[in-house]
Chains A and B, each alone.
Chain A
């Protein structure tokens, strides 16, 4: 109980791969009773609205399974693209890198509302 899952996205995601990720991840959260999920997208150079929605969905699904999600390592160009697409990924916690992400995840899981990093409402 109380494990953290680390997901590193290293290839450009196409739709079916993203859906497979959703399935696998939710299954794994449930199997391991994980309390936190860290999604590392530092290798992701191209995003579209589908990926943006997928990240939001994963965060929401995880919360339903009582796990917190933090997305880390977003590249500046990706952030600008998402903002231009009008996606703010509300409800998804973010951090600059894996270290910061782990800190945020720990404090979020421990119910500490004054976590570091950013939280979008």
Chain B
């Protein structure tokens, strides 16, 4: 079997588009099913201009670039698809919708191929196969871009959460409190330890109250992280009291056999504060009414 000509699909597509771009565009829009069109999310005119631009870039790239979608000649198409993927994600399209938008071009394209290669089944098969591969790559690329931008958003949000959720507050001279909200994973424990130790140094504190009212569950891993934090604070000369231990947490701790060593634990922040004051030798005295 003789080798296929160098860039069969490239030339075929670009020739077809150079000849008949408008007609192909109209055919494509007509062939788009209701589900792909999503008239609720995008206006007719916007959709038309998106498709028109896609066809224009497709023609230019296929004149020179063969069918390897990773080649530099396909750069402009990649950029356009990435932009479409991102803007459609913002408009509320699912990644499936955007990929299907690309795949829907197969129908009018293959219809053209059938006309052009009537009586040449081998050529037709070769063209259709190469075109399918190309359009599949494109559709998958849009999905990939979508995934990446979601991951970026999640990464950014995680960073913000980390920063927002570890404030250390000074309760009194020598007493700091660290209210923990959310679960304690190893990344967060690092941040928590650093914040707490910095605060201890800055406020010259001898007691640190770690309030875990906002920690949903305490399992052995979370307990380990808590103990690490407590130990680190103690190495710097600050005693720790863990407060906000809910009844369910107390049960879990005992059931799991977690040994909190000699860490003082209190049910409420108030109790912890009271103990801290005692440790520092401070007293709260009620004023006697005058007269």
Contacts and interface: CB of A to CB of B under 8 A. Distances in A.
Given A80-B193, A80-B197, A83-B193, A94 B280 contact: no
A118 interface: yes
Contacts of A95: 237
Contacts of B233: 79, 118
Contacts of B260: none
B56 interface: no
Contacts of B206: 96, 100, 116-118
A117 B235 contact: no
Interface string A53-80: 0000000000000000000101010111
A74 B193 contact: no
A79 B279 CA distance: 23
A121 interface: yes
B237 A76 contact: no
Nearest to A99: B204
A82 interface: yes
B190 to A, nearest CB: 8
Given A83-B231, A88-B231, A96-B200, A117 B194 contact: no
Given A80-B197, A83-B193, A100-B206, A94 B237 contact: yes
Interface residues of B, number: 25
Contacts of B231: 83, 88, 120
Interface in B223-244: 228, 231-239
Interface string A104-121: 100000000010111011
Contacts of B281: 116
B236 A79 contact: yes
Contact of A76 (B236, B239, B262): B236
Contacts of A97: 204, 237
User: Chain B: interface secondary structure?
Assistant: helix
B237 A121 contact: no
Contacts of A96: 200-201, 204-206, 236-238
Interface in B244-275: 261-262
A120 B236 contact: no
B194 A118 contact: no
Question: Which among A72, A78, A97, A116 has the highest number of chain B CB atoms within 10 Å?
Answer: A116
Interface in B164-223: 190, 193-194, 197-198, 200-201, 204-206
Contacts of B228: 83-84
A80 B200 contact: no
Nearest to A96: B237
Nearest to A121: B262
Given A76-B198, A88-B231, A96-B201, A117 B193 contact: no
B103 to A, nearest CB: 51
A60 to B, nearest CB: 17
A94 to B, nearest CB: 4
Contacts of A116: 206, 279-281
A94 B231 CA distance: 11
Interface of A: 72, 74, 76, 78-80, 82-84, 88-89, 94-97, 100-101, 104, 114, 116-118, 120-121
5 contacts: A76-B201, A82-B232, A83-B232, A96-B236, A96-B237
In the A-B complex, list the 4 residue pairs whose CB atoms are closest, starting with the nearest: A76-B197, A95-B237, A79-B235, A96-B237
